[in-house]
Structure 1
Amino acid sequence: MTFGNSSEPTRISSRDNALIKDFKRLAQDNGAYRKQGRVWIEGDHLCRAALARGSVPSMAVFTESSWPFAGPYLASSPGRNIVIDDALMAHVSGLESPAQMAYVLDLPAAPALQPDAPTIVLDRVQDAGNVGSILRSAAAFGFQQVVALKATALLWSPKVLRAGMGAHFGLKLLEGLAPDDLAALRVPLLVTSSHEGDYLHQNTLPWPCAWVMGHEGQGVGPELTARASRAVRIIQPGGEESLNVAAAAAICMHASAISIR
């Protein structure tokens, strides 16, 4: 996909430039996107995923060495194309091996909760890698919205964005909600447990539904468990105490996807 803007880019070479400081915050500070109202996505895969879902960057940032090959990624007017020294990209990036290009996107407006949509509820899931992995599974298995309750890792933080591998751009994402907000959902609430409830593989699952995935150590909180229409557990013949929450979420979502085929 190619944008039409081929104008001469803005070149920046100083770490003290205000825009570079903003980029670094977006790339490395989990909460910066809330203050700036925009997000930093870095690398070919994430940028292509954003374009494929119709996102238009407000700024496209390239290293000097990548600028000659930037054609397919140029930001369209009124977007800006910015070229920075390769060493400056290493300063901005939060990656051990910085990418050669990045986009700055306007943070999408928070969507309204869709009462009947297939949903994933994150109850204090705190590891960014787990959250990103769950988003990726949600997009793959046909879930349309993800609701992050308070104390869950920030959905648009840099690590969650990287772990999500582009899933953000195909989902409705709501964050900072309270358990009472889930009263608006009209789909059955299903909770997971490592030791209670019926086995997942023996269940006929409702569709659409809302799966609740809980805190890595404490699991789903008692308030949400009380709201649930069903509790299920995943059979573990190997005898481990519990599964990683992202693995459990993928198994549950896959079971739901199979149930509607």
Structure 2
Amino acid sequence: MTGAAPTEPIASRDNPRFKRLRRLVEDAGAYRREGVVWLEGDHLVRALLASGQRPKAVALTPAAAPLLTELRKQGLPAEVPLWWMTPALMGQLSTLASPTALGALAPLPAVPDLSAVAPTVVLDRVQDPGNVGSILRTAAAMGFGQVVALKGSAALWSPKVVRAGMGAHFALRLLEGVERAALAALRVPLLATSSHAGVWLHQAPLPWPCAWVFGHEGQGVDAALLRQASLSVRIAQPGGQESLNVAAAAAICLHASAVACGGHAPPDDGPMLRRSERRL
């Protein structure tokens, strides 16, 4: 339905549209089978539109009509189907304390080829969706246009990762389920983090472009990857904690690289947004 809100929005849990959305929300890997990604909240829909893409459908409650008006102004085509739902049904599609009144189905992007020269972030079995989404957001902000998730890492387009990424997905070249051997194709130096060995980050000569490797929350970067790295660094922790959260460590390292290259990362051939459009 593409017109105004109907008198009676979808209210049944047996409705095929609702059942499809629920599969996408509850199954972290369902997007691969469905070919679409669930975007919860108008912020993510705005990020999609800003990247020049359009949703396949918008799900919303009658109370979200003002948000719909704003999205129209930002380029949401009139022909995109609208799936009106009751607030109770819409609430079942959210894990947030305050469920949003609007979401959308976005087409799952085609898997890009690995760019051998792009500034890159490699995720080595990083499993927490919040950490992965946060790292994606930092990567986009710091000029790292490509993220490679090795096998064992959280699904990059799962609802929790997408929500934590806050729109960064649409500014990045994303590859997931990648075998470690594929990293041999990178023609940029591989940098790895370690909690106990390596050069201090604040003293390290950081090359640009480069590929940063961030490892599993408990085990860190795999030993074989550490041996492949051109440079292994550790972060000074004068407070004496044993280790940093991987998303926090990534933010520190990626910012250090951005500063080292003068804050002017050269563009790569990935689907990056113009800097003026990065409202992350």
Tell me the TM-score range normalised by the shorter chain.
over 0.9
Shift of 1:206: 0.3
Superposed, 1:29-178 pairs within 5 Å as 29-67=27-65, 69-74=67-72, 75-76=76-77, 78-178=79-179
- The 3 A distance-change label for structure 1 pair 69 and 203 is closer
- Alignment partner for residue 7 of structure 1, among 3, 6, 16? 3
2:201 corresponds to which residue? 200
Cα deviation code 1:20-78 (max 9, x no counterpart): 00111112321111111101111122111111111200101110222355223255265
- The CA deviation string for residues 1-37 of structure 1, in whole angstroms up to 9 with x for no partner, is xxxx963567422210111001111123211111111
Deviates more, 1:183-192 or 1:10-19: 10-19
Q: Answer whether contact 1:60 1:73 (CA < 8 A) is retained.
A: no
For 1:168, the aligned partner's letter is H
Contact 1:41 1:161 in 2 (8 A): yes
SS in 1 for 2:233: strand
Instruction: Tell me the distance in 2 between the aligned counterparts of 1:227 and 1:66.
Output: 51
CA deviations 1:81-124 (Å, max 9, x no partner) are 11111111012223232101111101000111000000000000
Higher alpha-carbon deviation: 145-154 or 28-37: 28-37
Residues 1:110 and 1:69: Cα distance change in structure 2 (over 3 Å): closer
Could you say if the C-alpha distance between residues 190 and 68 of structure 1 is closer, same or farther in structure 2, counting changes exceeding 3 Å? closer
TM-score by length of 2: 0.88
Cα-Cα RMSD: 1.6
Which residue pairs with 2:18 in the alignment?
Answer: 20
Amino acid at match of 2:55: P
Contact preservation (8 Å) 1:200, 1:232: yes
Structure 2: how far apart are the matches of 1:161 and 1:68? 24
Report runs of 4+ in structure 1 exceeding 3 Å deviation: 5-11
* C-alpha distance 240-61 of structure 1, shift in aligned 2 (>3 A): same
- Name the residue aligned to 2:232: 231
| Structure 1 range deviating more: 199-208 or 91-100 | 91-100
For the residues of structure 1 that align with 2:172 and 2:222, how far apart are their CA atoms? 25
Cα distance in 2, alignment partners of residues 76 and 38 from structure 1: 18
Pair 1:186-2:187 in alignment: yes
Per the alignment, in what secondary structure is the counterpart of residue 121 of structure 1?
A: strand
Equivalent AA in structure 2 for residue 133 of structure 1: S
Once the two structures are overlaid, the 10-residue window that deviates more, 113-122 or 153-162, is 153-162
Q: 1:79 to 1:9 in 2, by over 3 A?
A: farther
Give the letter for the 1:213 counterpart: F
Contact 2:126/2:214 (8 A) holds in 1:
yes
Aligned amino acid, residue 153 of structure 2: T
Residue 127 of structure 1 and its aligned partner are, at CA, apart by 0.6
Q: Is the 8 A contact 1:33 1:157 kept in 2?
A: yes
Letter in 2 for 1:21: K
Distance 2:98 2:66 in 1: 20
Find the residue that maps to 1:16 and give its secondary structure. Answer: coil
The amino acid across from 2:3 in the alignment is S
Letter in 1 for 2:63: S
TM-score calculated relative to the size of structure 1 = 0.94
